[in-house]
Amino acid sequence: MILLKHIHKKFKNNHVLKGIDLEVSKGDVVTIIGPSGSGKTTLLRCVNYLEKPDEGIISINDLTIQTKKPVKKDILQLRRRTAMVFQHYNLFENKTVLENVTEGLIIAQKKSKKMAREIGVDILTKVGLADKINAYPQQLSGGQKQRVGIARALALNPDVLLFDEPTSALDPEMVGEVLEIIREIASGGVTMMIVTHEIDFACEVSNRVVFMDDGQIIEQGPPDDILIHPKQERTRKFLKRIMKEPDFTI
Continuous H helices in the chain? 40-47, 72-81, 97-103, 113-126, 142-155, 172-187, 199-205, 223, 233-244
- If the CB atoms of residues 127 and 170 are measured against ligand ATP, the closer one turns out to be 170
> According to CB under 6 A, which one of 27, 37, 172, 222 is a site residue for ligand ATP?
37
> According to CB under 6 A, which one of 2, 31, 39, 133 is a site residue for ligand ATP?
39
- The answer to the question of residue 38 lying near ligand ATP (CB under 6 A) is yes
- Among Mg ion, ligand ATP, another protein, none, the one that 243 touches (CB under a kind-dependent 5 to 8 A) is none
- Among another protein, ligand ATP, Mg ion, none, the one that 248 touches (CB under a kind-dependent 5 to 8 A) is none
- If the CB atoms of residues 125 and 249 are measured against another protein, the closer one turns out to be 125
- Among ligand ATP, Mg ion, another protein, none, the one that 50 touches (CB under a kind-dependent 5 to 8 A) is another protein
> How many of the chain's residues bind Mg ion (CB under 5 A)?
1
Which range in 32-40, 76-84, 174-182, 217-225 contacts ligand ATP by CB under 6 A?
32-40
- The answer to the question of residue 41 lying near Mg ion (CB under 5 A) is yes
- If the CB atoms of residues 120 and 166 are measured against Mg ion, the closer one turns out to be 166
- The answer to the question of residue 14 lying near ligand ATP (CB under 6 A) is yes
Angle at 24 between CA 167 and CA 208, to 5 degrees: 60
Cβ neighbors of 10 (< 8 A, separation 6 or more) are 16, 54
Q: What are phi and psi of 60, to 5 degrees?
A: -125, 115
- Pairing assessment for the beta strands 160-164 and 14-24 based on DSSP bridges: unpaired
Q: How far apart, in whole angstroms, are the C-alpha atoms of residue 188 and residue 204?
A: 14
Which range in 30-38, 54-62, 76-84, 144-152 contacts ligand ATP by CB under 6 A?
30-38
Q: One-letter amino acid identity for 21?
A: D
Q: How far apart, in whole angstroms, are the C-alpha atoms of residue 238 and residue 230?
A: 10
Q: What is the DSSP string of 47-116?
A: HTTSS--SEEEEEETTEEEETTS--HHHHHHHHHHEEEE-TT----TTS-HHHHHHHIIIIIS---HHHH
- Within residues 137-166, the interface with Mg ion by CB under 5 A covers none
Residue 23 CB, shortest distance to ligand ATP, in Å, is 20
> How many of the chain's residues bind ligand ATP (CB under 6 A)?
11
Cβ neighbors of 166 (< 8 A, separation 6 or more) are 85, 86, 87, 146, 149, 150, 178, 182, 194, 196
- Within residues 200-219, the interface with ligand ATP by CB under 6 A covers none
- Among Mg ion, another protein, ligand ATP, none, the one that 82 touches (CB under a kind-dependent 5 to 8 A) is another protein
Q: Binding residues for ligand ATP, per CB under 6 A?
A: 11, 14, 16, 34, 36-42
Q: Binding residues for Mg ion, per CB under 5 A?
A: 41
